Amino acid sequence: MNRIIKNIELIATILSGFLIFLGLFLQTTTNFSAVSPYIFVSSFIIGGYSQAVDGIKSTIKEHKLNVELLMVLAAIGASIIGFWLEGAILIFIFSLSGALENYTSNKSKQEIYKLMELQPTSAKRLNADGSFEYIDPNLLQIGDVIIAPSGQAISTDGIVIAGASNVNEAAITGEPLPVNKAIGDEVYGGTLNMHHPLSIKVTKNIEDTLVREIIRMVEQAQQAPSKTAQFIERIETKYVTIVLMSCILLLILPPFLLQWSWQNTFYRAMVFLVVASPCALIASVTPATLAAISRGARMGILVKGGIHLENLSAIKAVAFDKTGTLTQGKPVITDYFLIGNIEKEDITPAIIALEHLSNHPLAMAITSNLFLDTNLILPEITDAADIPGFGISGVIDNHLWKIGKYDFMDTDAEAVLQQKATDSQKEGCTLVYIQKDATIIGYLALKDTVRPEAAQLIATLNHRNIETIMLTGDNMQTATNIATQLGIKTVIANCLPSEKVAAIEQLMEQHHSVAMVGDGINDAPALAVATVGIAMGKGSDIALEAADIVLMHSDISKLAYAHALSVKLHHIITINICFSLAVIFLLLCSNFFQIINLPLGVIGHEGSTILVILNGLTLLTFRQKEKTRKHVSIKYLHPNLS
């Protein structure tokens, strides 16, 4: 229903503008010039109806005057003394700004409840007599034992009491690699059990699970009004009150104090109401903001509201999620080492044949990197065994092959291989060892590679004296390696969603204005809490919903452009506001001393409006020009920021 109402408002605004142009056309036609006032009245009614109703309802409900009422009264005042066109234009501009602002900023928040889809609709509970039953997860109680079958989502938070498996926690941590889970390990509802069944003891009620906590944090952050919105509301009420009270005084006092005639007094009061209307002030902000939003959209930057673009200009620090934001989010083979005279081509068929039997992300990354020859014939495998958390083995041409962790191997590696492996691990690589019979013949090094544009972005932000922080659920060693490559100054690792929120809150206490950039469900609360939340376009639905700005093509380099655009927007808005206030002051003084008449007042008022609009529209062609330099000085922090 709300969407239908907003569409009607937009249609009414468009129709109002069309009628203004129609009236202007008819005004120049001799046979139909008498019809134009009626056309302007129709534009006035169609465009101003919604504003008038909203203004009256808001005044009655909140007991506060508002700009909607002032704009309608100003338009009525212009119409009373015969200036129908001016009244219609005032209403149209205000109606247009309101309709477009609603369209761009009031997004549906129903996407937040897609988080609930992470949790299964049923849970397999183990009864005391050893039988099983499927129940609604909402009926689970602390202490119940549930079974998480292979390939299915875990029903709720708990502790593993039997079994071992790999669990994909990307929905919670944002990290692509599965985590090994064994007896005593904690698991979260909505994560995916990839291999063997797990017996889990429920440790939390469904309302207290990590997924539900994420939902609550996002909702609370989105409901909190910004300081800017509160400030604008206070200014609006005071401005309208002053103008209306002044208009009433102008209707009463001049005949007694200045010996003006009642006709002249009414005329001057109407001129005052027209020139004091905040049309130019509104045009100082809205057209410029919409132009900036439009320019950003052309550059692949979706801004959900003008206030977010304005806030971006004031940020002093930017916190980045790592996986999928600064990095590609998918592990690739970056290096390998083989002993003796063994060549990669000699072992590729056996590796691909074995890894094809596994659905582990590392296995899929290996096959996608190695399987480049479509004519490659894979050997037959016997006695294949996939050991969750360790690796896979099988017999090929009477040789035992093993691929996986070092602990999965049957023997120690040669000293030179161990040294090479140590060097690769220091670079943040995950190693997959290869054993043939009783010899470790080498390893493959995989890691999540950085986005090629990320380093330039960090250099740009550092050059602008904006502190850069990595905020990740990954381990410190991997995070530090990525930060070193990019030039990020501060690293905060091993963070759960709630710890990311705590980190953002502390950063805001330190810097006052902080942006958060992320792409995963686990980033959503931090995106909502930050001054400006920025999501990657290919991120999760909840991250896109929680964010204020979306980089539509997941091009993180656009963040630098977005910041430069916001700074330019702030500069133009400041100039426009100062100019429009100066014009209003000049017109008010001229009216008081009876220097100007209504036509000149309208020309001055509308002329200033046109000028600030044109100044704002220069943002449609904004180009970023800036040189950057790198500056690296890394600080390491724990999740508690101590």
Q: For position 219, what pLDDT does the model report?
A: 56
| Exposure letters 221-257 (e unless 16+ CB within 10 A, then b) | bbeeeeeeeeeeeeebbebbeebbeebeebbeebeee
Whether 454 has a pLDDT exceeding 60, the answer reads yes
Partners of residue 536 on adjacent β-strands: 551
pLDDT per residue over 458-501, tens digit each? 999 989 999 999 888 777 877 888 888 888 888 888 887 888 88
Dihedral of CA 599/604/607/609: which sign? negative
Which listed residue (129, 144, 185, 321) is catalytic? 321
Q: Which residue has the tokens 């991250």?
A: 543
**How many whole angstroms separate alpha carbon 25 and alpha carbon 540?**
50
Q: For position 220, what pLDDT does the model report?
A: 54
Residue 311: name the closest of 567, 618, 572 by CA. Answer: 567
Dihedral of CA 467/544/215/195: which sign? negative
Cβ(220)–Cβ(212) below 8 Å: no
Which position has the higher pLDDT, 276 or 417?
417
- What contacts 359, CB < 8 A, 6 or more positions away? 194
In this prediction, residue 317 has a pLDDT band, given cuts at 50, 70 and 90, of: very high
Outline where 375-520 has alpha helix (H): 415-426, 454-463, 476-486, 497-511
**How many whole angstroms separate alpha carbon 242 and alpha carbon 267?**
19
Cα distances (Å, whole numbers) of residue 71 to 10, 87, 95, 239, 634: 18, 9, 10, 12, 54
With a pLDDT cut of 90, the percent of the chain lying above it is 7
Does the annotation mark 321 as catalytic?
A: yes
> Which amino acid does the sequence have at 602?
V
Average pLDDT on 383-395 reads 86
Whether 358 has a pLDDT exceeding 90, the answer reads no
Mean pLDDT, the chain, integer: 78
Whether 626 has a pLDDT exceeding 70, the answer reads no
Cβ contacts of 110-116, under 8 Å, gap ≥ 24: 111/541, 111/542, 111/544, 111/545, 112/215, 112/218, 112/219, 112/542, 112/545, 112/546, 113/215, 114/541, 114/542, 115/190, 115/211, 115/214, 115/215, 115/521, 115/542, 116/211, 116/215
Average pLDDT on 34-51 reads 79
β-strands 467-471, 317-320 pairing = parallel
Q: For position 636, what pLDDT does the model report?
A: 44
Q: For position 28, what pLDDT does the model report?
A: 75
> Which amino acid does the sequence have at 372?
L
Whether 140 has a pLDDT exceeding 90, the answer reads no
Which position has the higher pLDDT, 575 or 551?
575
pLDDT per residue over 423-437, tens digit each? 888 777 888 999 999
β-strands 514-518, 532-536 pairing = parallel
pLDDT per residue over 146-170, tens digit each? 888 888 888 888 999 888 888 887 6
Quote the tokens at residue 74.
């100003």
How many Cβ atoms are within 10 Å of 509's Cβ, its own excluded? 9
With a pLDDT cut of 70, the percent of the chain lying above it is 83
> Which amino acid does the sequence have at 544?
L
Mean pLDDT: which of 2-11, 356-365, 438-447, 611-620 is highest?
438-447
Q: For position 607, what pLDDT does the model report?
A: 74
Q: For position 571, what pLDDT does the model report?
A: 92
How many helices (H) and strands (E) the chain has is answered by: 21, 23
**How many whole angstroms separate alpha carbon 333 and alpha carbon 371?**
12
Average pLDDT on 362-383 reads 77
Q: For position 98, what pLDDT does the model report?
A: 60
Q: For position 619, what pLDDT does the model report?
A: 85
pLDDT per residue over 499-553, tens digit each? 888 888 899 889 889 999 988 777 888 888 888 989 887 766 677 777 888 887 7
Q: For position 102, what pLDDT does the model report?
A: 57
Backbone angles phi, psi at 625, to 5 degrees: -130, 115
Half-sphere exposure of 562 (CA within 13 A, CB side): 33
Report the interhelical angle of 36-62 vs 84-105 (nearest 10°).
50
How many Cβ atoms are within 10 Å of 267's Cβ, its own excluded? 18
Q: For position 104, what pLDDT does the model report?
A: 40
